[in-house]
Amino acid sequence: MTVCLRLPGAPATPLNFPSIAYATVAVLADTMVQHGRPAHVLLVDDDPDIRALYGGRLRADGFEVSVAADGRQALAAAGGPPTIILLDLRMPGMDGLEVLDALKRNASTAAVPVVMLSNECDPAARATCVRSGAVAWWTKSAVAPCELSRRVRELLSRGPVPV
Per-residue pLDDT tens digits of the chain, which is 163 residues long? 565 554 444 455 565 555 443 444 344 445 444 455 789 999 999 999 999 999 999 999 999 999 999 999 999 999 889 999 999 999 999 999 999 999 999 999 999 999 999 998 889 999 999 999 999 999 999 999 999 999 999 999 875 444 3
Tell which CATH classification among 3.40.50.2300, 3.40.50.300, 3.20.20.120, 3.30.470.20 matches the domain 38-156: 3.40.50.2300
| pLDDT score at 142 | 92
For residue 8, what pLDDT is reported? 46
Amino acid 86: pLDDT = 97
DSSP character at residue 109: T
In the beta sheet, which residues pair with residue 16?
2
Kindly list the domain boundaries of the chain, sorted by start residue.
Answer: 1-34, 38-156
Q: What contacts 121, CB < 8 A, 6 or more positions away?
A: none
